[in-house]
Amino acid sequence: VIGGDGRFYNREVIQKAIAMAAANGFGKVMVGQGGILSTPAASHVIRKYKTFGGIILSASHNPGGPHEDFGIKYNAGNGGPAPEKLTDAIFAKTKMISSFKIADIGTVDLDTIGTVEAGGMTVEVVDPVADYAELMESLFDFDALRALFTSGFRMRFDAMHAVTGPYAKEILENRLGAPNGTARNFIPLPDFGGHHPDPNLVHAKHLYDEMMGPDAPDFGAASDGDGDRNLIIGKGIFVTPSDSVAMLAANAHLAPGYKAGLKGIARSMPTSGAADRVAEKLGIGIYETPTGWKFFGNLLDAGMATICGEESAGTGSN
């Protein structure tokens, strides 16, 4: 699986990755349409289609552009970030590289959904939103959410011209019936509109100001470059990342996907103890890890935790 947050040089790197995969004997590569694929969506695609792993092109909340940041992440076959054992092995291999293979296959069309052959390898361009939207519909009560929006509930989601814009338009406005304009800055841009796609009170101040204003919507949110970190703001109240994890855990049972309860909660060391109190109340385990998503993977895979979160506003579940 290959995709990214749409930042500058995203398409070029995808073309190189496809050509190198073809030269090294891969049978199939799945690519998000337009080179777009959020980190959570890539994780789901990896798991759903049981792929070898996935390359995600992103520098997270850092700026994009010709003179800005670029990054490459590798998610393993479980959909999660590569653990230290794997990244250490990759690093060791990089010190031994003396040559590399790349196929002369020309430019692959990344914008048309479908399958093409390239250098003896199948390249499937997939709708980056469809599978993820279906996953969300299986986890959350979309009928209840549609009724909520029909009742006049108002929200604002700022995609910050990063990867989550197409997801917000499809899920919030098209599937849940939220009013047009609920999703803002929803077109991914190579330079994120000249801003940092960092969902905090500095770079999403316009959202904060709106939520604190006299005509504030009922709920506000924003996400980062690749869609794995978030900002939550209520009408007239800011929710800290630590409290966000705790509130999600405390109320998860209300969503169909979590109605059976949580197996545990995992949080990074700098994250506050709010989640610990929720875990104690629910009678489930609480696990403290070093900072970094890769440390949550083992707990999720072992079935010891269901929800995890960190101090930099990243939250997720198994």
Report d(CA 245, CA 111) in Å as an integer: 36
Structure tokens at 147: 């009724």
Distances (CA, A) of 261 to 50, 54, 299, 309: 26, 30, 16, 17
Cα–Cα distance, 298 to 318 (Å, whole number): 11
What pairing do the DSSP bridges indicate for beta strands 237-239 and 230-234?
antiparallel
Catalytic choice (43, 58, 60, 223): 60
Helix or strand run (H / E) with residue 115: strand 114-118
Q: How far apart are CA 84 and CA 289, in angstroms?
A: 14
Is 138 catalytic? The answer is: no
Contact 30, 51 (CB under 8 A): yes
d(CA 118, CA 259): 45
Report, as residue numbers or ranges, the catalytic residues. 60
